[in-house]
């Protein structure tokens, strides 16, 4: 069952976390879901380097999915 990610302020962060959860629920393995979400982030932020995208996506997945935290995260400047 999908979780409500409406508390996430950044649209790109919400899109990444939602996509990751849905891909994993659909049976996509972790690395493929992570790579897809990195690509999704770069669609929102084409100016971001691959390394920056990977770092942010990893932080967001860890914060929201692994730890289940609902508080704010550090992240991209789009606020």
Rounded to two decimals, the pTM is 0.86
| 10 against 2, higher pLDDT | 10
What is the DSSP secondary-structure string of 36-77? HHHHHHHHH-TTS-HHHHHHHHHHHIIIIIIS---S-----T
Chain segment 18-74, per-residue pLDDT in tens: 999 999 999 999 999 999 999 999 998 999 999 999 999 999 999 999 999 887 887
For the chain, the domains span 11-66
Q: What is the pLDDT of residue 79?
A: 64
């Amino acid at each position: 069952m999908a979780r409500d990610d409406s508390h996430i302020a950044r649209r790109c962060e919400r899109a990444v976390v939602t996509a990751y959860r849905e891909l994993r629920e659909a049976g996509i393995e972790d690395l493929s879901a992570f790579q897809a979400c990195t690509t999704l982030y770069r669609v929102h932020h084409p100016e971001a380097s691959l390394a920056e995208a990977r770092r942010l996506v990893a932080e967001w997945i860890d914060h929201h999915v692994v730890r289940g935290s609902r508080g704010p995260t550090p992240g991209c400047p789009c606020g």
